[in-house]
Copies of this chain bind each other. A is one copy, B any other.
Amino acid sequence: MNAPAPRHGDLLSGYLDECQSLVLDEIRAIVPRDDRHTGGLYELIVDYPLRGGKGLRPALCISTCRALGGSLAGVLRSAAVLELYHNAFLVHDDVEDGSEKRRHEATLHRLHGVPIAVNVGDGMLALTLRPLLDNMRILGMGRALRILEAVADMARESAEGQMLELDWIRRVEWTPAERDYVRMVYKKSAFYTFVTPVSVGAIAAGAGPERIVPLRRFATQIGVAFQIQDDVLNLAGEESSTGKEAGGDLWEGKHTLILIHALRSALAPERGRALEILRKPRVAKTEADVRFLRRLIERHGSVEYAWAAAERRARRAARTLGACRDVPPSVHRGFLEAVVDYVVTRDR
């Protein structure tokens, strides 16, 4: 956070675009082209990736590897695997959340039904294993195995985090503490969006634990900040900029930090009404219900509260990264710094 925001903004989007284009080529090379005896599986597998996300995860993986002196060729395959995993999670999460839109288009299960969407996600996961075995040849056995272990941890943490959130939705009466929320988003989102990409990039560069530990701390801090901010954008953002349904989290009854703060700050009758609304399944909620929740959040300044929590963590992340003196200045380190800036300034 020591360069003016506009420069960081340019670096950020330029770096993301470059990585995303490399990663999409790599994904095209990983996904089989022959769809003759697959019922069209592979066409559906590349649907979400080709809708053009930001490609944040592969860019974090590539930039960390490069910042630590590793090569692009050594990390690209792993970066593509992380993006495939991300898209598999998106397909399944959209089913689990009943989401309507993803990247400005209808979600896969709305287009093709839940059965096909579940299987497309499984097909994506199935394609991640072979490229990780290619790492034996690309990076040697030691690094390849450590990356496989990192990916195994990622898959497990993500499933645990997702389950925590789904469990909270059914336990609507119980309002999690902020500590519970942070643990949940660490597992559900920060771990696969930041911690694993940074770790895998560092492993590909041949870094040992002494360099990886502080980078993982940085990734945890910025990852939790990122998810808090994502929740804010889900509520406050326009569909045109997020590519998702505005206020989707309220319809889905998710316990975001914003909602937790509002419920905690509300008086008993307000709180009772809010819980009554949250208890309803998505299809039973009305526009008035969601308006009530929005007003509750506004009245208690819960969005501002969440912003401050994200900003605090982002500043901590900036300090942690700043203390990584063994990562020399470079465009790649600059990208990591720009990501921190981005998290506190995007769409504000």
Interface residues of A, Cβ cutoff 8 Å to B: 37-41, 44, 92, 95-98, 113-116, 118-123, 125-127, 129-130, 133, 136, 141, 145, 148-149, 151-152, 155-156, 158-160, 162-168, 170, 183, 187
Contact = CB atoms under 8 A, between A and B. Distances in A.
25 contacts: A37-B160, A38-B163, A38-B164, A39-B163, A39-B165, A39-B166, A39-B168, A40-B167, A41-B159, A41-B163, A44-B163, A92-B119, A95-B118, A96-B115, A98-B115, A113-B170, A114-B114, A115-B166, A116-B166, A122-B125, A122-B158, A122-B162, A126-B155, A129-B155, A133-B148
B119 A148 contact: no
A30 to B, nearest CB: 11
Contacts of A187: 37
Given A92-B118, A149-B133, A123 B160 contact: yes
B158 A126 contact: yes
Contacts of A159: 41, 119, 122-123, 126
Contacts of A126: 152, 155-156, 158-159
A232 B135 CA distance: 45
A164 B118 CA distance: 14
Given A37-B160, A41-B160, A167-B39, A145 B125 contact: no
A116 B170 CA distance: 10
A37 B164 contact: yes
A280 to B, nearest CB: 15
Contacts of A125: 122, 125, 155
Q: Does more than half of chain A's interface fall in helix, strand or loop, or is it mixed? A: helix
Copy count, this protein chain:
2
A68 B95 CA distance: 44
A99 to B, nearest CB: 11
A162 B95 CA distance: 18
Contacts of A165: 39
A170 B95 CA distance: 19
A152 B166 contact: no
A156 B124 CA distance: 9
Contact of A39 (B97, B113, B127, B164): B164
A127 to B, nearest CB: 7
Contacts of A160: 37-39, 41, 123
Contact of A163 (B116, B129, B166): B116
Nearest to A154: B126
A95 B123 contact: no
Given A39-B168, A92-B118, A148 B129 contact: yes
A122 B118 CA distance: 10
Contacts of A39: 160, 163-168
Nearest to A136: B145
Contacts of A114: 95-96, 114
A154 to B, nearest CB: 8
A133 B116 contact: no
Contacts of A92: 118-119, 122
A233 B176 CA distance: 48
Given A41-B163, A160-B38, A145 B133 contact: yes
Contacts of A158: 122, 126
A48 to B, nearest CB: 15
